[in-house]
Structure 1
């Protein structure tokens, strides 16, 4: 395909003639109308991808209403086109409303499954989309006997709970539309409302459930969790930021409840328990998992030696890709931590050890440098707010920068002790020469690393005392 060069502001990029034509067609409703009647079906995907990426609502509505296939998966439409460089996160609420209205309010769309999972909708945006669906359904002139299954991710809070319930009631009575949820995030809701929402979920479709920030206590958790057991396709469960205190669960009722739910979900791989006190109970709640964990967030969980020992000796961590142990005091468990890292080193992609007080143990620095050589896939490493002196941290950073797959390191450093921190910190210090004096040793050490200069490594630096991000991350070619 002939390539043409297109200027966008100061950016220069190449676009194929097909994409240039698609942009021209979808920018004009009459041209789009003529195109859908004549172009081959295989070009619909390109036209829709370009219309969505250019935020062309009229063209998007027309293309969706005439979609010629049984399935419309918006993620596949967009990601299959590598030239667009457009993601689901960039989709506007207007386009989502347009798509949903076109699906529900017309009878010409051939799609029986419309998959919109991955589009990030805020609570207010989701309410807008649901209102649009209900209104479009009321005005639909030719409802068919075939159901249209519409799947997207829900974000439910107090302000949109009622419209979610109304939409589910509206479409449960309809022979045309079946509204479903892939991943649900419910926040700030009572136990009864959480139970009602979970009851809406289809066990074959729901694969993610985020119940963080609901102030669930022991009694609340025992009310809500049993309703999750039937969702056998759940792959991720987030219970973070509730008010659990498992060490006080003397009888083990709550631990038993969590364990039973986790063990009843055969595909569960991603677990988040952050900001709940689970001291000494990790094995009790996780030793019956049917699948190896791939993502485990235990930030600020007040982990004990027993918890680390379970992770380093018994727990299956051979498939672990993401591990977050930040906010736990680990300085007294260095050997156990080392064993955890060594057992997961062949699979781990992200590792977060922020604020784990590692500098309080003289063995930490050497342990971290020693284990760095074992990682095979690590791409992101964060070790902020540990109080390492410059010499120790430079050694750690250099060791991890030597991992061929690593792309990002996050650290904190102490700026000049003569600096008085205030509102002008970023302007007066980080934009000034002080930034370079603080980071010059890191830059010099990383510049000495051997390599073919084809790999880009970013060093993101914050100030240890204020948390302010240094103006620009340092980027190295290694």
Structure 2
């Protein structure tokens, strides 16, 4: 429910869009609630005027938009037009300062020094074309930095022609800059504009400072160039995915991460590392990779998903000096010895998030997994075992160890061949876990209609499985009734991966 102040602010920004002079009559304390109302209702002209006269040194998206009920405005409505309006307001403010550094005016002057845009979500599934993705936000910020830097150069050239003397124009035309803190996402399409923005704007009036850096489909040289251009302070995550770096590429990139002394999270999924393809440089490459990981003293999260690391986990993680709290090893072709190493390592009692999806937990791996869960039981909050060929019998054998994880909040089991009775057993047994609030379960095998093969053709499979929607709806409703009757109506049991995708280590 909105407060009376918020409702009044909403009415004001709807009646007075773009009325900069009216803002001079309002106390500075009303700016935050006016900003919230304008952002929620998409009042772009009001946003530009609010930001252009912002009376505080900091404007933080998270602080202003991140705590309204159960979902933040950043998740509900990160409008592209609103974000663009804010960026344009910053550019306009800096252009004014550059052009008239000594201007006297009766207008309220903008005191903004830090614009914190971190926290913009990058899930476009339910946002529509009007939403602001992380990629488009990065491009908009990069272009703004380049534009302001160019305008500064033009002003300095004009000033040098008008002014004479030893001091020159530079001293008179140096504006008070704005630092923009943001999460950046770059791929091959946007690489050039971000590189130019980081290199030309490093000492300019509009400076980009990265918190989380995401790069996709970049070359080794391109990745290194951007990492070297980032200001190291404040970078907490580097996510390099789908870059096809290989073991040699990772060994070339990782030394450039040592300067990020605050780095907590390193994600390297889909890096095309396969230790089973033994070459002359494989062992040397693994030693190099392990050494570089060991030089990241603050590292708490590591994602090596879809790398084939069979039998090499001890070697890769052996140089880490502090325990990991999040470890993602989905589809890594691990062996029993790898799980045994994890169980005995310094990481096991500290792990809060563990992803072992894509492994075949048959008899060969099931016992090592049980032992690992026992060792992580005091700390584990989030466990993913998706597409692990867990049948009813294997899951039941795992349940005693699973139920010892007393702090577990999220369990991912999508893609396993479980039946409706198996899911009901899972629900009943896990009622002892008081914090379990999200379970992503598979469509039960008995909810499929298995059709006989038709005469084969180029586009046909030999047999087809079709989900019986009506039967699955009945199962879903029955699970909900069981939760309600057990006093756990607040728990979410779902077969939707969309609910699962929002979970993140920093949100645990």
TM-score by length of 1: 0.83
Distance 1:441 1:26 in 2: 47
Q: CA shift at 1:89, angstroms?
A: 6.4
Q: What do you get for the CA RMSD once the two structures are aligned?
A: 3.1
> Where does residue 3 of structure 1 map in the other structure?
none
CA contact (8 A) 1:345 1:375 kept: yes
In structure 1, list runs of 5 or more residues that go unmatched.
Answer: 1-13, 470-478
Distance 1:160 1:267, change over 3 A: same
Distance 2:17 2:271 in 1: 53
> Where does residue 347 of structure 1 map in the other structure?
379
> Where does residue 229 of structure 1 map in the other structure?
258
CA contact (8 A) 1:53 1:84 kept: no
> Where does residue 272 of structure 1 map in the other structure?
303
Q: Does 1:148 align with 2:149?
A: no
- Name the SS of the counterpart of 2:25 in structure 1: coil
Q: Does 1:209 align with 2:238?
A: yes
Distance 1:70 1:393, change over 3 A: same
> Where does residue 329 of structure 1 map in the other structure?
360
Q: CA shift at 1:274, angstroms?
A: 0.5
> Where does residue 400 of structure 2 map in the other structure?
370
1:177-216 CA-partner distances (Å, limit 9, x unpaired)? 2222111111111111001011111211211111110011
- Name the SS of the counterpart of 1:97 in structure 2: helix
In structure 2, list runs of 5 or more residues that go unmatched.
Answer: 98-108, 122-132, 156-171, 453-459, 500-508
Distance 1:392 1:94 in 2: 48
Q: CA shift at 1:381, angstroms?
A: 1.0
Q: CA shift at 1:67, angstroms?
A: 1.6
> Where does residue 381 of structure 1 map in the other structure?
411
- Name the SS of the counterpart of 1:301 in structure 2: coil
1:263-310 CA-partner distances (Å, limit 9, x unpaired)? 211221111110110111112111232332222111000011111001
> Where does residue 127 of structure 1 map in the other structure?
139
> Where does residue 435 of structure 1 map in the other structure?
472
Q: CA shift at 1:427, angstroms?
A: 10
Mapping of 1:161-200 within 5 angstroms?
Answer: 161-172=191-202, 174=204, 176-200=205-229
1:405-445 CA-partner distances (Å, limit 9, x unpaired)? 112222221135655499xx999830x3x335655775676
- How many equivalent pairs are there? 442
> Where does residue 370 of structure 2 map in the other structure?
338
CA contact (8 A) 1:23 1:51 kept: yes
CA contact (8 A) 1:46 1:81 kept: no
Q: Does 1:396 align with 2:430?
A: no
> Where does residue 316 of structure 1 map in the other structure?
347
TM-score by length of 2: 0.78
Q: CA shift at 1:375, angstroms?
A: 2.2
Distance 1:389 1:91, change over 3 A: closer
> Where does residue 52 of structure 1 map in the other structure?
39
